[in-house]
Structure 1
Amino acid sequence: MFLVVLGLHYLARRLSLPPAAALIIGGSAVAFVPGLHGIAIDPELVLVLFLPPLLMDGAWFTAIAPFRRHMAGILSLAVGAVFFTTAVVAIVTRMLMPDLPWAACVALGAILSPPDAVSARAVLQRVKLPRRLTTLLEGESLLNDAAGLVLFRFAVAAVLTGSFDLGAATGTFFLLVVGGIIVGGAIGGLWVFLLRRLGDDTLMIAATVLVCWSAYIAAELLHVSGVIAVVTAGLTCGWYQHVVFNASVRIRALAFWQVLVFLLEAAVFLLIGLSLRGLLDRVGGLGVVVDTMAEPVLLIVLAVVVARFLWIFGVDALVSAGCRLGLTRHQPLGPRAATVMSWAGMRGVVTLAVALSLPAAMPARDLMLVTAFVAILVTVLVQGTSLGWVIRRMKPPEDGSTRPPLDMHAAETRIFQAQLAAVEREAIGADGTVLHPQLLRRYRTRATAADAFQGTSDERDMAIASHFDVIISAVAAGREELVRLHRSGAIDDETLHDLEHDLDLEELGAVAAKG
């Protein structure tokens, strides 16, 4: 499977396709290769295996301040849009199939309503959005699965039992959310406490992996939201990792998580494609799908897409009216940004896994399975592939209110000044003698470089890039000489690895500073 992943990723790069689209198409093609056995997905296993680490990775790097600042907008998407889309899909499904119970229609809406965190990550990594839109989409993808899964469970229970209590369902929803926050906060706090005492790089990195599954499984065992627990734990760990990790752990953990997330995301999209064969076998073949399900399925998927536009533009109109009347300080998105937000509603593994978990007694179960798969195909292959084009056409404006007081260069100057103060305390003796003149001169130059530079911000960036290009070239020359010395037998392997590590760190620092 991973061999196919590498090949499809390479092909996607050559064809300038989103990797998610290439993986789904390639997986669907591989599923029908003669002689290969079909892939049977255990939906509970898929959720517990893939969802926690991918949510953890997203929460880990979430900026807390913008997340809190835009919490109202995030909740509008993660809860309001999910509930609204569920209602729209339920109404459309009921109109198309009047004999289907309302609870079953709501169950289908809950399956299709939450955009997928994995799909959102895969697309957002390839496009550049204003900070506000990025925060809203990332926050939505972290929280909306909880709302969709809760709605789904209540709807299925209503179908099987024939009864539904709105008051009890609302109370249970808030209990699940609050319980998930408590469990996730406790797991995250325990992680911080233990990490300070492990004292081993490998153990610390392993602990970051275990915390996501610990939070999810503990929350599910306590019958609260595992999704909210993982997100809370991830936010906690991401906040404290800057003070509990040393440089070595941070570099190694980042590299480890990049590879882990790459493999998990690729496996998710490939499994979606591979599941097509089993899905068609379950519903009676492609001919049955085309003859009996094509029209209602396409109309329901269209309703999913339209519902997101209606909700986002409707809420934005209310915010705009409230802003004009002085009832709110929140600024509306505007039509261009709202269009981009509306188009960025890709579905993925959660939709498929939840659909596959439908009980056999669920009315119209086959239709729901096909609709879920088509919704994933349409949103990932159409919306995900064209989102970059939509962004370029709409050109959503940057929201200046989200910018921090200091830009990167100003913050960098503050850091250099703090470093210079520390060096001056150590490099100058009690009698005023300079103990480390070269070190002192180096840090003074760095601390005063920003104030001494005359020119625009773009000219400064070009000068910085040119400076570090020279360093990168010097590192490359040093590495070439190091390899030559090793190959000639002048140095042993231990010396090679030690000096190579120093050069690698120097190159990483230069590349990061240049970028």
Structure 2
Amino acid sequence: MHPAETFELVFTLLLAILALHWFAERAKLPPSVALLVGGGALAFLPGLPVIELDPELVLVLFLPPLLMDGAYYTALAAFRRHSAGILSLAIGAVVFTTLVVGLVVHWLVPALPWAACFALGAIVSPPDAVSARAVLQRVKLPRRLTTLLEGESLLNDASGLVLFRFAVAAALTGSFDAVDASREFGFLAIGGVVVGAVVGGAWTFLLRRLGDETLMILASLILGWAAYLAGEAIHVSGVISTVTAGLVFGWYQHVVFTASVRIRAGAFWHVMVFLMEAMIFILIGLSLRGVLERVGGFETVLATMAVPVVGVIVAMTLARFVWIFGCDAVLALLNRLGFPIDDPLGPRAATVMSWAGMRGVVTLAVALTVPETMPGRDLMLVAAFAAILVTVLLQGTTLGLVIRAANLSDRGVRPALSLAQAEAAVAAAQLVAVRSQAYADDGTLAHPRLLEGFQRRADQAFQNADDEDTFVDEITAHYDLVLEAVRAGRAELVRLHRAHQISDETLHDLERDLDLEELSATAAKSL
């Protein structure tokens, strides 16, 4: 393809992303569904070239920044608190699903070697980080479930990739050693943590010394790729390395970034992650044509692969239900026996967790790396794409309904201070700082209005902390009025500029002040 044609194709895809995302918002559909279906429809348009995804490029281009973004915003305390549950999903559920799918595939296709069956199980076993993010952003879950799903999506790709690598090696060489495999898995995981911690710590140290805001934002972008490539270069888990670096960086960014960098970086990351997630789903849809051409078309799929593909999808779905409900039953039994490790999820929460198992880009990318000589390669490609299509279309569109039907309550560990109490503590600290410097050397009050303002803010904050129910209503009304004042100020500013009464420089300076005031009020209102 000519470079100009490649650019035209990318431009067309960006236009398609805009149109499909707009349609999804209007139709109240998950954007991932619209993008996946839209990409699949575009793949068969006359004149459009067949899109061939390079699996290695897809993984290294898209996965690190998306994992980095997820880890950056992860609540580290909650992650540690629920680490046992996260590891149970990220490792236990992936291994269990791999085994179940492998057994079912061998039962349906006895001629396929066991190692190839388990390789297919490893391909479809890990739910996808991008798919999980795309759905979780549009639903509200209790803190514990959100932490479990986000933590699982950050780590399970590593489990699936390692299992796939072992299964492929066993299929091609005819040998497999479970002890060696377990030892290597531990080395990959621990090595990934060490590399990620070193890279994240070094990056944080360097960021403090860059000074320039644009360079700091650029460095934060590069960190995900740096951690992933460093991990892969020394043959440990690049996924775990990236997640660890993101957790380290997310913990220290509060003291490394200035307010300006944090606002600018947040806006930049939001747009970049949106484009990457959207591009992944539309590229998966576009790859449908190439997958079908590789295996001989729809007729071949329906005639020779329909039954095993349906078996794979049913097996991987039921395996997740069995694992989650089984683990929950074990927790309940241990609690009754006097060994309270953690509270059980309960049937309704376990159902939500079990249904939130969408597959995505990692499943397809791994399937595309299957060697040409691997037995059952065509079945793996079709099953991978079908798993993505079915889970995103079915589970992605119905997860919100399942959550609402479950009517879950948030019974997680509550922080020591509520929002209003934390706000009062911050206001008190600010008042102490202002009061200590509000007086001149001779004892006269040098900043009476400033001191009065911070005193009034602290008094109001402590009053709100004592009556939080009234506080919520009052704070909403307060910031609604602030936003109305901002709108009125902006309208007058534009009128003055259009009437040539102020310069462009004055317009931009005052507009920036109003924008920051609006962002602050909107954020405070939404807390």
Scaled by the length of structure 2, the TM-score of the pair is 0.96
Offset from partner CA, 1:26-54 (integer Å, 9 cap, x none): 00000000111110000000000000000
Q: What residue number does 2:24 align with? A: 12
Q: What residue number does 1:138 align with? A: 150
User: d(CA) in 2 for partners of 1:504 and 1:398?
Assistant: 34
1:427 and 2:441 are equivalent in the alignment:
no
Structure 1 gap segments, 5+ residues each? none
User: d(CA) in 2 for partners of 1:456 and 1:394?
Assistant: 31
Which of these residues, 119, 141, 146, is aligned with residue 129 of structure 1?
141
User: d(CA) in 2 for partners of 1:496 and 1:369?
Assistant: 56
1:35 and 2:35 are equivalent in the alignment:
no
User: d(CA) in 1 for partners of 2:442 and 2:341?
Assistant: 58
1:392 and 2:397 are equivalent in the alignment:
no
User: d(CA) in 1 for partners of 2:463 and 2:139?
Assistant: 35
Residue 494 of structure 1: how far off its partner (Å): 1.5
In structure 2, the residue corresponding to 1:33 is in which secondary structure? coil
Question: Does the aligned pair in 2 maintain the 1:337–1:397 contact within 8 Å?
Answer: no
Which of these residues, 161, 167, 170, is aligned with residue 179 of structure 2?
167
Question: Using a 3 Å threshold, how does the CA distance of structure 1 residues 483 and 41 change in structure 2: closer, same or farther?
Answer: same
1:482 and 2:493 are equivalent in the alignment:
yes
1:285 and 2:297 are equivalent in the alignment:
yes
1:464 and 2:492 are equivalent in the alignment:
no
Aligned AA (1:395): N
Which of these residues, 517, 522, 525, is aligned with residue 511 of structure 1?
522
User: d(CA) in 1 for partners of 2:362 and 2:383?
Assistant: 14
Which of these residues, 202, 220, 223, is aligned with residue 235 of structure 2?
223
Which of these residues, 313, 335, 338, is aligned with residue 325 of structure 2?
313
Residue 243 of structure 1: how far off its partner (Å): 0.2
Which of these residues, 246, 255, 260, is aligned with residue 267 of structure 2?
255
User: d(CA) in 2 for partners of 1:431 and 1:141?
Assistant: 61
Residue 122 of structure 1: how far off its partner (Å): 0.2
1:501 and 2:500 are equivalent in the alignment:
no
Which stretch shifts more, 67-76 or 94-103? Answer: 94-103
Question: Does the aligned pair in 1 maintain the 2:97–2:316 contact within 8 Å?
Answer: yes
Q: What residue number does 2:216 align with? A: 204
User: d(CA) in 2 for partners of 1:372 and 1:192?
Assistant: 38
User: d(CA) in 2 for partners of 1:432 and 1:312?
Assistant: 67
Residue 292 of structure 1: how far off its partner (Å): 1.2
Q: What residue number does 1:446 align with? A: 457
Offset from partner CA, 1:162-194 (integer Å, 9 cap, x none): 111111111110111111111111110111111
Which stretch shifts more, 209-218 or 451-460? Answer: 451-460
1:322 and 2:326 are equivalent in the alignment:
no
1:417 and 2:428 are equivalent in the alignment:
yes
Offset from partner CA, 1:207-237 (integer Å, 9 cap, x none): 0010100111111111110000000000010
User: d(CA) in 2 for partners of 1:28 and 1:453?
Assistant: 53
User: d(CA) in 1 for partners of 2:97 and 2:41?
Assistant: 31
Q: What residue number does 1:2 align with? A: 14
Question: Using a 3 Å threshold, how does the CA distance of structure 1 residues 317 and 406 change in structure 2: closer, same or farther?
Answer: same
User: d(CA) in 2 for partners of 1:5 and 1:151?
Assistant: 34
Offset from partner CA, 1:326-380 (integer Å, 9 cap, x none): 1233110000100000000000000000001100011111111101111101111
Q: What residue number does 2:503 align with? A: 492
Question: Does the aligned pair in 2 maintain the 1:31–1:276 contact within 8 Å?
Answer: yes
Question: Using a 3 Å threshold, how does the CA distance of structure 1 residues 468 and 282 change in structure 2: closer, same or farther?
Answer: same
Q: Give 1:89-104 correspondences, 5 Å limit.
A: 89-104=101-116
Q: What residue number does 1:60 align with? A: 72
In structure 1, the residue corresponding to 2:93 is in which secondary structure? helix
Question: Using a 3 Å threshold, how does the CA distance of structure 1 residues 145 and 454 change in structure 2: closer, same or farther?
Answer: closer
Aligned AA (1:349): V
Q: What residue number does 2:484 align with? A: 473
User: d(CA) in 1 for partners of 2:18 and 2:508?
Assistant: 29
Q: Give 1:400-415 correspondences, 5 Å limit.
A: 400=412, 402-415=413-426
Residue 61 of structure 1: how far off its partner (Å): 0.3
User: d(CA) in 2 for partners of 1:451 and 1:3?
Assistant: 50
Residue 455 of structure 1: how far off its partner (Å): 8.3
Structure 2 gap segments, 5+ residues each? 1-12
Aligned AA (1:333): L
Aligned AA (1:503): L
Question: Does the aligned pair in 1 maintain the 2:420–2:468 contact within 8 Å?
Answer: no
Which of these residues, 21, 24, 32, is aligned with residue 36 of structure 2?
24
Aligned AA (2:147): T
Aligned AA (1:160): L
User: d(CA) in 2 for partners of 1:452 and 1:205?
Assistant: 39
User: d(CA) in 2 for partners of 1:22 and 1:459?
Assistant: 42
The aligned length equals 514
Question: Does the aligned pair in 2 maintain the 1:101–1:159 contact within 8 Å?
Answer: yes
For the aligned residues, what is the CA RMSD? Answer: 1.1
1:184 and 2:182 are equivalent in the alignment:
no
State, as a whole percentage, how many aligned pairs show the same letter.
64
User: d(CA) in 2 for partners of 1:313 and 1:291?
Assistant: 35
1:71 and 2:83 are equivalent in the alignment:
yes
Residue 396 of structure 1: how far off its partner (Å): 2.2
Question: Does the aligned pair in 1 maintain the 2:421–2:465 contact within 8 Å?
Answer: no
Offset from partner CA, 1:245-286 (integer Å, 9 cap, x none): 000000000000000000000000001100000011110000
Aligned AA (2:399): L
Q: What residue number does 2:345 align with? A: 333
Q: What residue number does 2:285 align with? A: 273
Residue 492 of structure 1: how far off its partner (Å): 1.6
Residue 161 of structure 1: how far off its partner (Å): 1.0
Question: Does the aligned pair in 1 maintain the 2:132–2:358 contact within 8 Å?
Answer: yes
Question: Using a 3 Å threshold, how does the CA distance of structure 1 residues 331 and 257 change in structure 2: closer, same or farther?
Answer: same
